[in-house]
Structure 1
Amino acid sequence: MVVPKLAIHVERGKSRAIMVNPHVLGAKNGKSLTSTHTISPSNTTAAGASVGQSAESTSTPSPSIAPGYLGFTSHNAVFEETRNSLSLVHGPALEIEPSPRRPPRTRTCLIEMPSHLREMCLFVLRHLPGPRDDVMPNKLHCRVDDWMFMAIENILHTLQQDWGEYLDAREDVQLEEMALCISNNTSRPIRDEHSSAKAWTDQFTGSNIRWESIGLIWTYWNGAPGMEASAVNKCLGYCVELVRHFTTANDILLYLCYRRTTIESLVTGDAGLTCWSYAAETVALLTFLGLHVGVEDPNYVPSLCSEHKRRITARVYALDKVLVSFTGRPPLLSHRYFSGPLAIDIDDQDLMGGDAAIKSAMQRLDDNGFRPDGELLGAALIRARVQIALIKGELLEMALASSVKASSERLAELKTRCERTYERFPRNLIHRADELDDPNCNVESVYVRILVRLEHLQNLFFAERLSLRLGHVDENKLLVISFEMVCLTLLFWTHQDRFAGVRRDFEWLLMAFAAPGGGILCLELLRPTFRGTHPDCPKLSRSAIIQKLSLLIGFLDWVRPPAPNADLCADCKAVLQGVLDHNLNAPIAGVGL
């Protein structure tokens, strides 16, 4: 008998599945795509098989119940020690076979998908780019690794080549067929230990397109014209839920969760509950995968897969410290429980070029793990930011934890580490005051250098604030640091036409760096500590402070609802205006007498 084509329908709140003939699934233009899509030979049924036999033989595994990473305090650690002791007693020849794991539950590829998951599938597929959408230039603001850029191009090509007609028509029945194909691919776990770049990326590109692959598009694409960032993140969030439903955790899913958090910060702000919840889920997934634990191996040979692990681990840790610095809430991942190895400053082209290219790239690194010259790579930014974030984690612990007491000696040691860490960065990561004078400068690289400098200054800012809390009354260093933080942030305002590509970061930059620095400048106006020009900074004077605060008020006023952090900016602006009004409108002594 001929098995009818799948169509998942919703009837009075219940989902039901109609069966599909695997031989016609994905067939378009008169040819079958069975061999290149989800239906493997083991999942096909012979013509004439009964419906019951078909449903049984076409089953695909759902995510197995894996325990994830298990550390020292887990039950597993004790039994591993026992296993090792038995091996010592009986010799290496003894092999202790573990009990067979409970086999994973099966989910037939004739999926009886819950109605809410079906709607997620259809929503995401309806909003995918069509043949006439120019995706690659219309990106969300983010630094995309080169390998990911190429993977997304491959995924888009596959969608248009294999599913172009379906994406053009956008009919539910066809999209359901497409969703089934993608879901079956997703049910096969991704192996995250490949040494070959191609072997690793082939698992989620080309004929193996998965919900993770679809999610990668939404981490990059700005959406169709008129599409809001919230809708983009909705599509990405649905992809995350679909991946979780069909497969086990993996590094690509972790990247999707990380980007969902950063995009949400652009929608509802960095202090919002949704953003904070997404960050918590991301950290939970990272620790489940065990990526927070690692050891620097002097004989380490990088691969694209292993470097992606290191990069996403560093990104998540640094993001946690960004959010903690912004909100003053306890960290989700303490530096005390983090030992992930640093990402290497190596080009993705080298990682994809094979052993010889990787070996040559490793030989070009300096003693600090950076390329001393050449193009500024995204990997260098990740390596630098996580080193700054590791120091920040220690400072935040002293600032926020009631059981950790700051000391002058500890703060002095951390400040020294801050300066030494920044000094070890390569020249292409160090901001120069005159680089924006060049009309042809690479603005994206300038942004990276300013960001690195701001995050370094933020560490010094926290350290000086903690010193004041201990009773040290020398505010000179804090004032100079605050003045530079405000001046650097104002570059985005005074050169906003050149920094249009990072426009969505403006609200965060304002509140993370300029607002705290501006607060210290306000205190200086209210309680002056020097006269004329500051002895440690020739550019710093009372007049300069008033000018910078006036510009800062204009920048804050530019942020209006519904922009994220708009309310926070408005509150900050009101305080700054009050301080300037108090200083500039105060009556002059002796006038009118």
Structure 2
Amino acid sequence: MTTTRRNGQLPSCEPCRKSKLGCDHTRPICNRCVRRGRADQCLYHPAPLTKPRDTKAAAIRKPRQKPTHSPGQSANVSVSAAGVSPIGIRDVSVSVSASVSASPLTIGESHAWEKRPFANPGFLGLTSYSDNVTGYAAVLDHAMRPRDSGGSGSGSIAAVVDLRQVELGAQVLLLLDHLPLFEELLEKRFAIWEGWIFGTQMFRCIIKVLRDLYHDATEGVQDKYASVLELSRTFFHNTATEIELRASMTLSEYVALSGARWDSYALVLSAVGYAIYHVAHEDPLFQSEDLPGKDMKGLRRIALAASDICLQLCDRLGTISDSLCCATLQYLVLVHHTYGTGDYRTWQKLGDLTTIVFALGLHQAGDERNIPFFLSELRKRIMIGAYGIDKDLALFLGRPPRICKQYCNIQSPLDLTWEEVIAAPSVRQAALLKLDAQGWNTEGILGSGARGRTIYLACLIREDILELSIGQGGDNVEEHAERVLKRARQWRSELPAFLQWDPESTNPELATLHMEFLHQDFLIYSTLVKRIGKGHDALIKISLEIVTCLLDLVSRQMRSQKTHMLTIFDLCYIGLPAAGALATELLRQSQPKLEPVLSSAPFPRSEIIQKLSVFISHADTFIQQHQGDYEIALQGQMLIRQVLDRVLSPTTDQPFPDPSINGMTIGDDVDFMALLESFDWEQEIRPTFS
């Protein structure tokens, strides 16, 4: 909303107004609040100086008591306050709301501990209380069946959602003024990389629903903000309403029911924030004067904060849905890109995703008689995406995985494109007839379905590597590693011919699949070296193969003047650990006072020096500063560069000119060697999930 105050100036948000600071009036969250870490309190109050009608005398005569009203009464109280709720909510699920209470909450006053009328326990397994307590309800009596906890009536919603949440939702909905810009940004991202979990058609359908709904609500009205407030209430009602599925439902019919919800809106906003990492910085789109946040960084902050607000509004209702699962996965990918792999928030959001995946029962095959075909395939891709990012984070952090294959029955998606998945039944059936017995397409197309299937196979091996590296089993480590290697190579050899690597191939997706399998071998040999000191020659060999292959890919793509996003990711997340292993061995071989490692193969010193020099040059060019793991990558590059300087410089007793990295002082070669060996080169995160 762009209405001005009576003095002609734009209104300030509540934190800036109360602190007497200059607000930049950016909606829904001003940049000053983002910088001060108060994005969760940034609220533009329609009437900031209004107060409750209670006088001081009345307040003195009637001391404040702990409220004992029912949920229905609380709804009336919050509405009658004309925008100022008498109780400031400061719980986790509604931390995005600005508190207007003058006094702190007493214990038990927060709505976080109230029962949510729309909460659903979700999937319940064989050992659950449901199977033991209510499993015989149909046999005994209808009264023993689980009762409806309140339905989806407006009274129940009003009891959970107060006016401040509605206002906050309205401010986020005002971002739809920029929907054409968001749509253009997403289309630019789709032209670069469509992803394999969510189809482009799904985003386009949601955007169409949002555009039509927002246009109908705001076009030609005198009080735009009042209309958006009503639209916010509609979003709350839709989010609390369960979608009734049927097998014949199409994607457009499904989105017509699910598009105007906070979870679907969060999916779009998260995708917008993620798209910023794909589109070139110099794109004219980012030079627009109407760009929210003024620049790329500001737009990314707004997308991150707004999508988080939408997810918290969903959490306020306590509902779970496929749309919420999609939004949580996309938001996790955005958080990972923004904050990095080692940031606690990334691990925390993975916990949120794992929770909803299990609550929806995506880890087990269920009754799909009433599930549309496209939704069934989407669920399989979401499950594999969650399973994959869980393995990546667990490997990177050296922690146990949250999703274990021994407790899951994960289904591979069929090797179909998104166009075939959402097509009419006759077209879809024709596509199904072209699949082989294992579910692979027979036309040699490396599409989104094939991508999901290969990622699943790779993640199964990654879980085996996790068991090898941090498991507490009593197996012989070397024998265990041999079994994992044998299984990985067997699965790779059984892939269809169009997924087999050809050095002359120009397909970047096939190249990144090849790098994935090489990286698995690297992780296995690296684990062997660390745990029992064996496999050293194999580790150097596979590391050199990884770096050589990456340099060849980058060289060919640079000649064509188009370096693919996946190759750049591989350069950082696969190439840098391999280059680190080569640099460590290069320094060891070059320093006579360091204990040599027994090796049966000659060490290609000159080749490694040349390739590491070129690799560092490419890393400086392509690894962007705005990426979440940039600091880790930068430290790795600095260490490799120092190794090259020491190896190529004359031997000297003087300390290195730049004696510290990240606060650690580097002295002689022995100290530097210890630093190299202790540095965590294994950055296994490969953000290809959306």
Superposed displacement of residue 421, structure 1: 1.5
Instruction: Give the aligned residue type for 2:315.
Output: R
CA distance in 2, matches of 1:517, 1:502: 19
Equivalent position of 2:62 in the other structure: none
Q: What is the root-mean-square deviation in Å for CA atoms of aligned residues?
A: 4.1
Native 8 Å contact 1:236 1:260 kept in 2:
yes
Equivalent position of 1:525 in the other structure: 586
Map residues 23-102 of structure 1 onto 2, 5 A cutoff: 64-79=118-133, 83=136, 98-102=144-148
TM-score of the two chains, using structure 1 as the length reference:
0.75
Task: Tell me whether 261-270 or 172-181 shows the greater mean CA deviation.
Answer: 172-181
Map residues 54-453 of structure 1 onto 2, 5 A cutoff: 64-79=118-133, 83=136, 98-104=144-150, 107-108=154-155, 111=158, 113-114=161-162, 117-128=165-176, 130=178, 132-133=180-181, 134-135=183-184, 136-139=186-189, 143-144=194-195, 148-164=199-215, 171-191=224-244, 194-198=246-250, 201-205=252-256, 209-221=260-272, 222=275, 225=286, 226-227=295-296, 228-246=299-317, 248-294=319-365, 303-403=373-473, 405-436=475-506, 446-453=507-514
CA distance in 2, matches of 1:95, 1:396: 49
Instruction: Give the aligned residue type for 1:270.
Output: T
- Secondary structure of 1:209 counterpart: coil
- Secondary structure of 1:216 counterpart: helix
- Secondary structure of 1:127 counterpart: helix
Q: Deviations over 1:247-278 (max 9, x none)?
A: 62112211111111111111111221111111
Equivalent position of 1:576 in the other structure: 640
Say if 1:146 and 1:560 are closer, same or farther in 2 by CA, change over 3 A. Answer: closer
CA distance in 1, matches of 2:370, 2:47: 52
> Structure 1: 5+ residue runs without aligned partners?
1-6, 21-60, 88-93, 437-445, 589-593
Equivalent position of 1:553 in the other structure: 616
CA distance in 2, matches of 1:111, 1:300: 31
- Secondary structure of 1:202 counterpart: helix
Percent of aligned positions that are identical: 20
> Structure 2: 5+ residue runs without aligned partners?
1-43, 53-76, 83-114, 277-284, 287-294, 590-595, 653-690
TM-score of the two chains, using structure 2 as the length reference:
0.65
Q: Deviations over 1:337-388 (max 9, x none)?
A: 2221111112333333344333332222223321132432111101110111
Say if 1:132 and 1:310 are closer, same or farther in 2 by CA, change over 3 A. Answer: closer
Q: Deviations over 1:168-217 (max 9, x none)?
A: 799432321221222222221124x532241x652332796322332332
**Structure 1 residue 460 and structure 2 residue 521: aligned?**
yes
Instruction: Report the count of equivalent residues.
Output: 516
Native 8 Å contact 1:123 1:235 kept in 2:
no
Say if 1:275 and 1:119 are closer, same or farther in 2 by CA, change over 3 A. Answer: farther
Native 8 Å contact 1:122 1:176 kept in 2:
yes
CA distance in 1, matches of 2:403, 2:561: 36
Native 8 Å contact 1:205 1:213 kept in 2:
no
CA distance in 2, matches of 1:96, 1:102: 13
Task: Tell me whether 266-275 or 61-70 shows the greater mean CA deviation.
Answer: 61-70
Equivalent position of 1:591 in the other structure: none
CA distance in 2, matches of 1:363, 1:301: 21
Native 8 Å contact 2:363 2:408 kept in 1:
yes
Native 8 Å contact 1:293 1:338 kept in 2:
yes
Superposed displacement of residue 304, structure 1: 0.7
Native 8 Å contact 2:247 2:371 kept in 1:
no
Equivalent position of 2:677 in the other structure: none
Superposed displacement of residue 295, structure 1: 8.2
Equivalent position of 1:567 in the other structure: 631
